[in-house]
Chains A and B, each alone.
Chain A
Amino acid sequence: MADSGETEGPGNKDVIERAKNDGRELTKEEKQRLRKEKKQQKKGKEKKDDKASQDGEKREKKPVSSASPAPQPATQPPTQKAPPAVPALVPVPASETPPPGDKPAKSKAELKAERRARQEAERASKQGKKGDVGGQQVAAGKPKAPPSELQPVVKRLPEYMQADNPEVLKKLAKKLERQQTPEYNAATKIPLRSDYGYKVSLFSHLHQYSRKAPLTQQLSIPSTVIHPAIVRLGLQYSQGIVAGSNARSVALLHAFKQVIRDYTTPPNEELSRDLVNKLKPYISFLNQCRPLSASMGNAIKYIKKEISNIPSQCKEEEAKSKLLTCIECYINEKIILAAKAIAKSSIEKISDGDVILVYGCSSLVNHILCEAFEKNRKFRVIVVDSRPRLEGREALRRLVQRGISCTYVLISAVSYILPEVSKVFLGAHALLANGYVMSRVGTSQIALVAKAFNVPVLVCCETYKFCERVQTDSFVSNELDDPDDLIVTRKGKTQLEHWQDVRLLGLLNLVYDVTPPDFVDLVITDLGMIPCTSVPVVLRVKNVDQ
């Protein structure tokens, strides 16, 4: 048997010898087969363990001072431990190559000693394995860990950008279910809004809702989970009654003020933790009505921070009034005073005889123009508008009421009117960290044509709208509005009336687009006039301040 054993792989030699020593009577083919099967099974599992055990062994070998001469893996000892009928333990750390070369024949006693030493080493290594594995990983992780002052890069992708991933949708549905006070049953959960209509394939990762099916239809009355002020706010958002970045943020903050006023801390709860938990379902609800804007996101972050900073020994009334004043302060500083500061800087840029082009309805730009008019600057304004929102008409009304002379065109006529224009003032929805300006769809087009005609483009934006996101095109993160808005009746014919029935026809109603920084000449903020590329600097300074 031994002779025939030698013709096989060297790894089997010792085993067969041992088996002979143990008195097992399996045929060598069977043994070999079984061993090979188990080896392959255990290979993947034990690879890691083996590596750790290898290192562990190597480290442990010195203190253990085993007599084993060859750094063999502990293949052999486990077979001694296990009952002979279980050859499974044979290939335990099987990824190691079988003992290289031909081992010189050893005497029985030497082999026994070897085996015992190996057993002890294995036991010790198994104990040290856990610590070692951790140590090894830490050692491996150290060079890869980023320096402490940089933020972790791995971010969770927001849900509203994953409308085509069914798992994410399921998770969201569960989350909305969970966000309810425990004493009420599932009938009062926050409803999940469903998509409407055929989505253009490029945008299948975004949601597309219909204005005719507001979320509040699915809520029970009275809604016990959501504060009525928030329900009203959500409805106003989804129907477009409150629109515009500043307006939405201010409305949100006022609604939160109402929530805080009506809030009472339940017994055995801390205000700082409970209030934040109470706000979570409201925010999910608002997100379902209309995706949150960057300014709203920043405002919510601020509020949550303020709430969690309330010391626990603070009395409830005191805490509530403190929070209310914080919110007032935020609105005052970041929106109202910022608008004043921006208007002051912008007026220097408006000279007499200017022809200023504005797009859509930006509350900040309207404010600037009205202020400049009060300061007796002589200029006239061209308001550019686009379908289907036609927000420019609102801006037109406000400016005409003040007495400013205005012209009104649609965006397709921009290249006709631009030779007359001396400056372009644009508002922004958010300023991204790579210098791109996210604003109403059509803004990038106006900036492009203005650049072609060499007309300076100035963007006015408060600093609370700066956000950490980066984006290079208008596809990855956007908002899809109701596609039925594009339908229009001209001369009694509505061409697109039955667009849903036509399989191959899709309507796309984008809300935002991003303008590259080379189209923008100047950004006017409450911190001063900066180029587009200085946005991350401002963000860093703000973070350090906070």
Chain B
Amino acid sequence: MPGPDKETDLTERIEAFLSDLKRGGSGTGPLRGSAETARETTALLRRITAQARWNSAGDLMEIIRKEGRRMTAAQPSETTVGNMIRRVLKIIREEYARSRGSSEEADQQESLHKLLTSGGLSEENFRQHFAALKANVIEAINELLTELEGTTDNISMQALEHIHSNEVIMTIGRSRTVEAFLKDARRKRKFHVIVAECAPFCQGHEMATNLSKADIETTVITDAAIFAVMSRVNKVIIGTQTVLANGGLRAVNGTHTLALAAKHHSTPLIVCAPMFKLSPQFPNEEDTFHKFVSPHEVLPFTEGEILSKVNVHCPVFDYVPPELITLFISNIGGHAPSYIYRLMSELYHPEDHEL
């Protein structure tokens, strides 16, 4: 029977994806980039839309929400998963509204005036059945996938607007987006890059080797020397793991120090982040913000005698407040940190902020 086979096949895929997520986040499995995760999530959601059994948009949204909750629980720090789920939910809402004939803008703007005059929330329970909804939603998800594939190129295309010749650019750790950005600028301009190695994982080393192979003059420095060399740096260009709703960043540890040093020397801090990294979370949740990995990276087991008497921390992420950031470069252009909230309202529906 095609039905149950499809279903088991679907559940298998979802389980495989979940276990991949769980393994990938601990730092031991192959590190996958966020773009890859986003693509896989979207592909999986498309499959769910195609193969799961649902009658109305509301059903579909329920299914996706349920799976989404499981996926985010598997790896809470991988926010792109949650972001993609919210994007797809917004797509479903839009397609439903379009099928119903009402323009989505009316639902979109929740201005104070509307709240007062509309007289209560419109009862949208998404129960109506539309035959073409499935096809429309899948088509929209395909568009989303194409957009995802082009994000890195879109960001790299803007490189020449921001880098001039003989500049000294500083970066930290390893970001594929920044790597592509700098390589694209190298085609026309000559500049020098300083990479902070970002202990304890030392991903900066890989970044430096890749950049030097692309004919860019690179220097590797330790994290401790960031402030010492900052006076000679013209720009700081970094990638990030997540862009938070207030315009702040959740980036690899050491980025806050880098941002403070840049602010002290009035060096602009540019963040290259594609739109799928934008997350509606705020940094208030102290308990859930940080992620820790094994302290073995920091104090290895060879230091046996003192290990039991010492607390060792190895946080993975840092919070960077929006005041320290000069510019965001994303696939739809450049923005100031104060504009992020507006972009978010275009990407996600407010009711989806909590899955």
Interface contact B220-A508, CB-CB below 8 Å: yes
Interface contact B206-A408, CB-CB below 8 Å: no
A407 and B253 CA atoms in complex are apart in Å by 18
A452 and B222 CA atoms in complex are apart in Å by 21
Interface contact B212-A495, CB-CB below 8 Å: no
The one of B228, B306, B312, B319 in contact with A441, judged by C-beta atoms closer than 8 angstroms, is: B228
Whether B260 is near chain A, meaning CB under 8 Å from some CB there, is yes
Interface contact B306-A397, CB-CB below 8 Å: yes
Interface contact A407-B311, CB-CB below 8 Å: yes
Interface contact A407-B225, CB-CB below 8 Å: no
Minimum CB–CB distance for A205 against chain B, Å: 14
Whether A513 touches B225, Cβ cut-off 8 Å, given contacts A400-B310, A504-B216, is: yes
Q: Choose the segment among B156-164, B193-201, B267-275 that binds chain A (4+ C-beta atoms closer than 8 Å).
A: B193-201
Interface contact A504-B212, CB-CB below 8 Å: yes
Interface contact A387-B222, CB-CB below 8 Å: yes
Minimum CB–CB distance for A228 against chain B, Å: 35
Whether A417 is near chain B, meaning CB under 8 Å from some CB there, is yes
Chain B interface residue number, banded: 35 or more
Q: Which residue of B lies closest to A486 (CB)?
A: B220
Whether A449 touches B253, Cβ cut-off 8 Å, given contacts A410-B200, A441-B225, is: no
List, in ascending order, chain A residues with CB within 8 A of B212's CB. Answer: 502-505
Whether A406 touches B310, Cβ cut-off 8 Å, given contacts A449-B256, A475-B232, is: yes
Whether A200 touches B219, Cβ cut-off 8 Å, given contacts A413-B315, A415-B256, A444-B228, is: yes
Whether A448 is near chain B, meaning CB under 8 Å from some CB there, is yes
Interface contact A411-B223, CB-CB below 8 Å: yes
| Residues 478-522 (chain A) with a chain B CB within 8 angstroms | 486, 488, 490, 495-496, 499, 502-510, 513-514
Interface contact A445-B261, CB-CB below 8 Å: yes
Whether B290 is near chain A, meaning CB under 8 Å from some CB there, is yes
Interface contact B215-A504, CB-CB below 8 Å: yes
A449 and B197 CA atoms in complex are apart in Å by 19
Minimum CB–CB distance for A409 against chain B, Å: 5
List, in ascending order, chain A residues with CB within 8 A of B197's CB. Answer: 387, 486
A411 and B256 CA atoms in complex are apart in Å by 11
Interface contact A513-B261, CB-CB below 8 Å: no
Minimum CB–CB distance for B180 against chain A, Å: 18
Interface contact B264-A448, CB-CB below 8 Å: yes
Interface contact B309-A513, CB-CB below 8 Å: no
Whether A473 is near chain B, meaning CB under 8 Å from some CB there, is yes
| Residues 94-126 (chain A) with a chain B CB within 8 angstroms | none
List, in ascending order, chain B residues with CB within 8 A of A411's CB. Answer: 199, 223-224, 254, 257
Whether B351 is near chain A, meaning CB under 8 Å from some CB there, is no
Count chain A CB atoms within 10 A of each CB in B218, B224, B228 and give the residue with the most. Answer: B224
Whether B110 is near chain A, meaning CB under 8 Å from some CB there, is no
Interface contact A415-B303, CB-CB below 8 Å: no
List, in ascending order, chain A residues with CB within 8 A of B219's CB. Answer: 200, 505-508
Interface contact A386-B199, CB-CB below 8 Å: yes
Minimum CB–CB distance for B292 against chain A, Å: 10
Count chain B CB atoms within 10 A of each CB in A396, A448, A490, A495 and give the residue with the most. Answer: A495
| Residues 245-273 (chain B) with a chain A CB within 8 angstroms | 253-254, 256-257, 260-261, 264
Task: Identify whether the interface residues of A are mostly helix, strand, loop, or mixed.
Answer: mixed
Whether B202 is near chain A, meaning CB under 8 Å from some CB there, is yes
List, in ascending order, chain B residues with CB within 8 A of A509's CB. Answer: 222
| Residues 146-192 (chain B) with a chain A CB within 8 angstroms | none
Whether A265 is near chain B, meaning CB under 8 Å from some CB there, is no
A506 and B195 CA atoms in complex are apart in Å by 10
List, in ascending order, chain B residues with CB within 8 A of A93's CB. Answer: none
List, in ascending order, chain B residues with CB within 8 A of A393's CB. Answer: 299, 303
Whether A223 is near chain B, meaning CB under 8 Å from some CB there, is no
Interface contact A407-B213, CB-CB below 8 Å: no
Whether B59 is near chain A, meaning CB under 8 Å from some CB there, is no
Interface contact A410-B223, CB-CB below 8 Å: yes
Interface contact B220-A409, CB-CB below 8 Å: no
Whether A504 touches B217, Cβ cut-off 8 Å, given contacts A387-B223, A410-B298, is: yes
List, in ascending order, chain B residues with CB within 8 A of A507's CB. Answer: 219-220
Whether A416 is near chain B, meaning CB under 8 Å from some CB there, is yes
List, in ascending order, chain A residues with CB within 8 A of B335's CB. Answer: none
| Residues 355-398 (chain A) with a chain B CB within 8 angstroms | 386-388, 393, 396-397
Q: Which residue of A lies closest to B219 (CB)?
A: A506
List, in ascending order, chain A residues with CB within 8 A of B311's CB. Answer: 406-408
The one of A387, A488, A506 in contact with B218, judged by C-beta atoms closer than 8 angstroms, is: A506
Q: Which residue of A lies closest to B254 (CB)?
A: A412
The one of B208, B257, B290, B313 in contact with A409, judged by C-beta atoms closer than 8 angstroms, is: B313
Count chain A CB atoms within 10 A of each CB in B209, B220, B318 and give the residue with the most. Answer: B220
Chain A interface residue number, banded: 35 or more
The one of A416, A444, A503 in contact with B315, judged by C-beta atoms closer than 8 angstroms, is: A416
A414 and B298 CA atoms in complex are apart in Å by 13
| Residues 280-318 (chain B) with a chain A CB within 8 angstroms | 290, 298-299, 303, 305-306, 309-315, 318
Interface contact A441-B260, CB-CB below 8 Å: no
Interface contact A448-B227, CB-CB below 8 Å: yes
Q: Which residue of A lies closest to B319 (CB)?
A: A415
Q: Which residue of B lies closest to A401 (CB)?
A: B306
A444 and B230 CA atoms in complex are apart in Å by 11
Interface contact A448-B257, CB-CB below 8 Å: yes
Contact with B along A312-326 (1 / 0, CB 8 A): 000000000000000
Interface contact B227-A412, CB-CB below 8 Å: no
Whether A239 is near chain B, meaning CB under 8 Å from some CB there, is no
List, in ascending order, chain B residues with CB within 8 A of A508's CB. Answer: 219-222, 225, 229
Interface contact A409-B222, CB-CB below 8 Å: no
List, in ascending order, chain B residues with CB within 8 A of A444's CB. Answer: 227-228
Whether B231 is near chain A, meaning CB under 8 Å from some CB there, is yes
A474 and B222 CA atoms in complex are apart in Å by 14
List, in ascending order, chain B residues with CB within 8 A of A388's CB. Answer: 222
Whether A202 is near chain B, meaning CB under 8 Å from some CB there, is yes
Count chain B CB atoms within 10 A of each CB in A396, A415, A444 and give the residue with the most. Answer: A415
Q: Which residue of B lies closest to A473 (CB)?
A: B231
Whether A442 is near chain B, meaning CB under 8 Å from some CB there, is yes
Interface contact A474-B256, CB-CB below 8 Å: no
List, in ascending order, chain A residues with CB within 8 A of B232's CB. Answer: 202, 475
A229 and B269 CA atoms in complex are apart in Å by 52
Interface contact B313-A413, CB-CB below 8 Å: yes
Whether B93 is near chain A, meaning CB under 8 Å from some CB there, is no
Count chain A CB atoms within 10 A of each CB in B229, B261, B305 and give the residue with the most. Answer: B229
A466 and B198 CA atoms in complex are apart in Å by 33
Q: Which residue of B lies closest to A485 (CB)?
A: B222
A388 and B215 CA atoms in complex are apart in Å by 27
A495 and B201 CA atoms in complex are apart in Å by 12
Q: Which residue of B lies closest to A419 (CB)?
A: B286
Q: Which residue of B lies closest to A488 (CB)?
A: B202
A90 and B275 CA atoms in complex are apart in Å by 87
A413 and B201 CA atoms in complex are apart in Å by 13
| Residues 289-344 (chain A) with a chain B CB within 8 angstroms | none
Contact with A along B32-53 (1 / 0, CB 8 A): 0000000000000000000000
List, in ascending order, chain A residues with CB within 8 A of B220's CB. Answer: 486, 496, 499, 505-508
Whether B57 is near chain A, meaning CB under 8 Å from some CB there, is no
Whether B87 is near chain A, meaning CB under 8 Å from some CB there, is no
Q: Which residue of B lies closest to A505 (CB)?
A: B212
Minimum CB–CB distance for A471 against chain B, Å: 12
Whether B235 is near chain A, meaning CB under 8 Å from some CB there, is no
List, in ascending order, chain A residues with CB within 8 A of B64's CB. Answer: none
Whether B226 is near chain A, meaning CB under 8 Å from some CB there, is yes
The one of B225, B253, B260, B303 in contact with A448, judged by C-beta atoms closer than 8 angstroms, is: B260
**B interface with A by C-beta (< 8 Å):** 197-202, 205-206, 208-209, 212-213, 215-229, 231-232, 253-254, 256-257, 260-261, 264, 290, 298-299, 303, 305-306, 309-315, 318-319
Q: Which 5 pairs across A and B sit closest by C-beta, in order of nearness?
A: A442-B224, A412-B254, A495-B205, A415-B256, A386-B224
**12 A-B residue pairings within 8 Å (CB atoms):** A386-B222, A400-B306, A408-B299, A409-B298, A410-B298, A411-B223, A411-B254, A411-B257, A412-B199, A445-B226, A475-B232, A508-B221
